[in-house]
Chain A
Amino acid sequence: MSKQKPTAAPSLEEQLKRLEEISVLLDRGDLPLDEQLKIYEEGMKLAQECRTYLEQAQLVIQKLGGSPS
């Protein structure tokens, strides 16, 4: 099948990792309010992107050359 190179967009793992970071930062609550609002919005956007990605995900099956059996 096609050789789909991943785009420059961050991978799902990276997004989930960032989301976890944000969650921890908000939980600590020691950033200025403005900063907290900013990362809150970033986190909500990230979460939505992850959901959309997962909802639209489809199994990709790629065949490597091998025995014709």
Chain B
Amino acid sequence: MQEEAVSVSELTYAIKGLLEEGIGDVVVVGELSNYKHHSSGHRYFTLKDSSSQIPCVMWRSRTLPFQPEDGMRVVVSGKLTVYGAQGKYQIDCVSMQREGVGDLYVAFEKLKRELAERGFFDPVHKQRLPVMPKRVGIATSSTGAALRDMLTTIERRFPAMHVILRPTLVQGEGSGIDIARAIRDLDACGVDVIIVGRGGGSIEDLWAFNTREVAEAIYECSTPIISAVGHETDVTIADFVADVRAATPTAAAELVTSTTLADLMYSLDLTTDRMTSSLADHVERLSEMAAAFTDGRALRRLRERVEIRQARINDLSSRSLRSITTTIQLRRQQLESVAALCKTLHPLAPLGRGYAVVELNGKPLALQQSLQPGDIVQVRRQTETSTVIVQSTTPTNELDTP
């Protein structure tokens, strides 16, 4: 006996009726795989669990609140349909959400909108972080890796820090309230900057940082405050309200040690070097002024000496104060001897030693000038001046001249 054969289309039509009417609307949880966002804008993927899989399509017109990735656990809602042309059934997805996230996501968006309207995120409220804080308040779990990372980073970069730790719950029942209280405690105890945060985790783990209590505590905090929650990709309400959002707790620790100990040591060295060379420059200027009184050779020698001394000053370690003091004293003695030399060069200086100056017509007699009998000259000595009539003049024996 042979049954009457049906066409493929007829059978497919029957299947379609059974599935689309018998099953119809579905809400399915599973793991995303083979996700493809086609250039047409439609998305094709497979939903699977350990033993089965089912093809899915989500048309361009449907909105997606997140970026799907293979391996994600998701919940889709849609309708089971049969695609006769390829002989397969699939879910025509109307919406898709990460499993367990749907409600949280809605709550997050709602609070974010409300706080934005209240001005919690306005740039005008953002405070600048101190350049060189000495007291840092940290609100986080005292047992988490986040705290360890922050302390290690701070100690490595600027060990002269005073850390005030306010241990908090960072997830679970009451954690939001505890974090809020911790922020207020730290704000009240006079720190320069506050870090509030925790290490990475699921969105549920991080949820305390999406609560109204924490947002308000951060907003009301008068100390500059950094949020450091989870990893780079995690964004929480706390991040929007805080003065600065750090991608990770370690990054927050780097922000509060933006001036490192090594930076400070280096700038100390620069400053003392600059002081030494400023002073040396000044001394050199004084020496040059003194040297200008003497002839070129003396000036050159003095310059050389100054340069030698200057090189020494520059080489001096900042610890040897005494040497530079000595150098200055030396230079001062040089100044005094130059001044003494200037004195001896004065034309009237020899009078002090008993010599006399002969003047004719009120001017000192020049070397080439000859006196004739009858000339009247002035003989000027240290204590008196005489008027003298020349009786005779003879050439001086050359051997007597110096």
Q: Flag if B261 contacts A26 (CB, 8 Å).
A: no
B281 proximal to A (CB < 8 A)? yes
* Closest chain B residue to A40, Cβ basis: B279
- Picked from A26, A53, A67, the residue with its CB within 8 Å of the CB of B279 is A26
B101 proximal to A (CB < 8 A)? no
List of A residues within 8 angstroms of B232 by Cβ: none
Q: Which B128-162 residues have C-beta < 8 A from chain A?
A: 132, 134, 141-143, 151, 154-155, 159-162
A60-B163, A64-B164, A66-B167 given as contacts; is B275 within 8 A of A33 (CB)?
A: no
Q: In angstroms, how far is the closest chain B Cβ from the Cβ of A68?
A: 7
B19 proximal to A (CB < 8 A)? no
Tell me which of B43-51, B68-76, B178-186 binds A.
Answer: B178-186
Q: Flag if B275 contacts A20 (CB, 8 Å).
A: no
* Closest chain B residue to A30, Cβ basis: B282
B333 proximal to A (CB < 8 A)? no
Q: Flag if A22 contacts B275 (CB, 8 Å).
A: yes
A54-B264, A64-B185 given as contacts; is B161 within 8 A of A59 (CB)?
A: yes
List of A residues within 8 angstroms of B325 by Cβ: 37, 41
Q: Flag if A61 contacts B321 (CB, 8 Å).
A: no
Q: Flag if A62 contacts B164 (CB, 8 Å).
A: yes
List of B residues within 8 angstroms of A61 by Cβ: 151, 163, 165
Q: Flag if A64 contacts B272 (CB, 8 Å).
A: no
A23-B278, A27-B278, A37-B328 given as contacts; is B161 within 8 A of A60 (CB)?
A: yes
Q: Flag if B169 contacts A67 (CB, 8 Å).
A: yes
- Picked from B134, B159, B181, the residue with its CB within 8 Å of the CB of A58 is B159
Report Cα–Cα, A11/B132, bound state, in Å: 12
Q: In angstroms, how far is the closest chain B Cβ from the Cβ of A51?
A: 6
Report Cα–Cα, A61/B318, bound state, in Å: 33
Q: Flag if A48 contacts B168 (CB, 8 Å).
A: no
Q: Which range holds the interface residue count of chain B?
A: 35 or more
B265 proximal to A (CB < 8 A)? yes
List of A residues within 8 angstroms of B60 by Cβ: none
List of A residues within 8 angstroms of B186 by Cβ: 64
List of B residues within 8 angstroms of A50 by Cβ: 264, 268
Q: Is the interface of B mostly helix, strand, loop or mixed?
A: helix
List of B residues within 8 angstroms of A57 by Cβ: 159-160, 261
Report Cα–Cα, A43/B268, bound state, in Å: 10
B5 proximal to A (CB < 8 A)? no
Q: Flag if A33 contacts B286 (CB, 8 Å).
A: yes
Fill in one digit per residue for B180-224: 1 if any A CB lies within 8 Å of its CB, else 0: 011001100100000000000000000000000000000000000
Report Cα–Cα, A52/B327, bound state, in Å: 27
A59-B161, A60-B161, A64-B185 given as contacts; is B282 within 8 A of A36 (CB)?
A: yes
B274 proximal to A (CB < 8 A)? yes
B166 proximal to A (CB < 8 A)? yes
Q: Flag if A63 contacts B160 (CB, 8 Å).
A: no
B306 proximal to A (CB < 8 A)? no
Q: Flag if B278 contacts A26 (CB, 8 Å).
A: yes
Q: Flag if B165 contacts A63 (CB, 8 Å).
A: yes
Report Cα–Cα, A45/B278, bound state, in Å: 17
Q: In angstroms, how far is the closest chain A Cβ from the Cβ of B285?
A: 8
- Picked from A16, A20, A58, A67, the residue with its CB within 8 Å of the CB of B168 is A67
B7 proximal to A (CB < 8 A)? no
Q: In angstroms, how far is the closest chain B Cβ from the Cβ of A7?
A: 14
Q: Flag if B272 contacts A29 (CB, 8 Å).
A: no
Q: Flag if B272 contacts A47 (CB, 8 Å).
A: yes
Report Cα–Cα, A24/B349, bound state, in Å: 44
Q: Flag if B282 contacts A33 (CB, 8 Å).
A: yes
List of B residues within 8 angstroms of A19 by Cβ: 268, 271
Report Cα–Cα, A16/B178, bound state, in Å: 39
Closest A-B pairs by Cβ, 7 of them: A57-B160, A26-B278, A64-B166, A66-B167, A29-B282, A59-B155, A60-B162
**Given A12-B134, A29-B282, A48-B319, 10 more contacts at CB 8 Å?**
A16-B264, A41-B325, A47-B268, A54-B261, A59-B151, A59-B161, A61-B151, A61-B163, A63-B142, A67-B167
5 A-B pairs in the complex with CB atoms less than 8 angstroms apart: A40-B279, A50-B264, A58-B160, A62-B163, A67-B169
